[in-house]
Amino acid sequence: MQERYLGDSHDFLKYAFLRHLHKAGGWRIGLNWYLTHHAEVDRPDSNDGEKRHHLKGGKWQALDAELLERLRPYDIRANRRIADFERSAILPAGTRYFSELLRADSRPEWHARALQSLTACDLVFLDPDNGLQVKSMTARTAPKYALYGEALDYVRAGKIVVTIQFARQCDPIAKARRLRAELCAMAACDALPVVRGRVAPNTLYLALAPKKQTAALGKALTNFGLGNALVELIAAD
């Protein structure tokens, strides 16, 4: 996550999803931003973060009209400050945030502090720039990804874990199924539906849950995936 992305169309869908999960299950949300600075991880000419199609309304408004209005100020670059967002009450009361900048040379310590900071949360959302780790990541780009081990540490702590995965230049449904199978095998968790955000590029929301929370989370995911053209549900096999 980078501050310049704050309130873009992918964020709109992410926040609508988190608001829905809190309402559906009453889970206390923890948001681990995986905050990066673009000068440290991206090309100098990158202009990401300016896709703000949701401000046109329509199907976006149908998903969460209140959220859309609350995000309008973030169309202005000067307003894109995470500290201000955390004070905004856009996400449910009681949401906890971990907003330390992630740097590759101090990652284990950063992760330990994140785990401690989000101890009181029931559901932890991991929000890296790109998604889960890939073989091609480098020392420079590694902070743009969540490591499998980091997600698994939250599962071992009894948390529901949801992470975002961007699906670029691939079959998003095939990618969702592959990643879900890998995560479930590593975490020894039951497979849950994957929520596909039909925004360019597509976003996938992959979830892991303790056994006692699987049914309730599965129902919440399914309900979010119904009735809006922005969202598609990739059911568990």
pLDDT tens figures, 91-107: 999 999 999 999 989 99
pLDDT at residue 27 is higher than 80: yes
Query: Which pLDDT score, from 0 to 100, does residue 45 have?
Result: 63
- Pairwise CA distance, residues 125 & 35, whole Å: 13
Query: Which pLDDT score, from 0 to 100, does residue 46 have?
Result: 62
37, 91, 137, 155 from 140: Cα distances, Å: 11, 31, 8, 27
Radius of gyration, CA atoms only, the chain: 16
What is the DSSP-derived secondary structure letter of residue 100?
Answer: P
Query: Which pLDDT score, from 0 to 100, does residue 50 have?
Result: 72
**pLDDT band with cut points at 50, 70 and 90 for residue 44:** low
Quick one: average pLDDT of 47-66? 83
Least-confidence region, from 34-48, 95-109, 124-138, 144-158: 34-48
**Tokens at 62, concatenated:** 């149908």
**pLDDT band with cut points at 50, 70 and 90 for residue 47:** low
Query: Which pLDDT score, from 0 to 100, does residue 128 have?
Result: 97
44, 84, 92, 116 from 57: Cα distances, Å: 32, 24, 22, 39
**37 three-class SS:** coil
Quick one: average pLDDT of 229-237? 90
pLDDT at residue 55 is higher than 90: no
Q: In the sheet that 123-126 helps form, which strands lie side by side, from edge to edge? A: 96-98, 29-32, 123-126, 160-167, 202-208, 194-197, 231-234
Q: Contact, 236 vs 192, CB < 8 A?
A: yes
The alpha carbon of 164 is separated from its chain's Cα centroid by a whole number of angstroms, namely: 4
pLDDT at residue 134 is higher than 90: yes
| Fold (topology level) of 3-234 | Rossmann fold (3.40.50)
The one-letter code for the residue type at 146 is: A
**Tokens at 110, concatenated:** 């950063």
Maximal CA-CA distance, the chain? 47
Q: Contact, 41 vs 75, CB < 8 A?
A: no
